[in-house]
Structure 1
């Protein structure tokens, strides 16, 4: 059985501590970079919103991207990463 490792992740302006398989860490970090880059992009486009609004916009964008992409491997990666982030957010709240 593979051992989970703790990692700190940042979404928007919040830090979360999650546990993941070591082999998944790189995928999670790449996904987080994409998500945080999109948050910055949306903050630039839509001034005056709060962070929760930007995160919601990014999640909708990411989910839409996953649903329109016909690459099943990418869809699985995105789905897994989003589920892990959702669990981490739920635990933090």
Structure 2
């Protein structure tokens, strides 16, 4: 069995302890930093909403957009929710939690 190391990651100011392979630690930390930056971007763009909405928006963005070879999401925060998610005719409405995504 492979050896796993415990690491603490932060998501939206909350700490989570996970176990990962030692060689994955740098990549996991880089990705978590990027996720937290996206959450901050959503807080700025959609001020006054619930933290759960910002986390959900970041999750939807990462789940629906493949990453480039450099690991960065292909869509920007504003472009994703203003344009690409709207192609299907319905934009994300924080608080409602309903989004229709285009099928590729």
Name the structure where helix makes up a greater proportion of residues: 1
The structure having more radius of gyration, on CA atoms, is 2
Query: What residue is the counterpart of 2:16 in the other structure?
Result: 16
- Could you say which structure has the greater relative contact order, defined with CA pairs below 8 angstroms and 6 or more residues apart? 1
CA shift digits 1:45-89 (9 cap, x unpaired): 0011121110100011111222xx576xx6xxxxxxxxxxxxxxx
Q: Once superposed, what is the RMSD of the aligned Cα atoms?
A: 1.6
TM-score with structure 1 setting the length: 0.68
Matches within 5 A, 1:52-71: 52-66=52-66
Partner Cα distance (2:48, 2:4) in 1: 39
Matches within 5 A, 1:36-47: 36-47=36-47
Q: List, as ranges, runs of 4+ consecutive aligned residues in structure 1 with deviation greater than 3 Å.
A: none
Query: What residue is the counterpart of 2:2 in the other structure?
Result: 2
Partner Cα distance (1:17, 1:40) in 2: 22
- Partner of 1:10, secondary structure, is strand
| Structure 2, gaps ≥5 residues long | 72-104
Aligned residues: 70
| Structure 1, gaps ≥5 residues long | 75-93
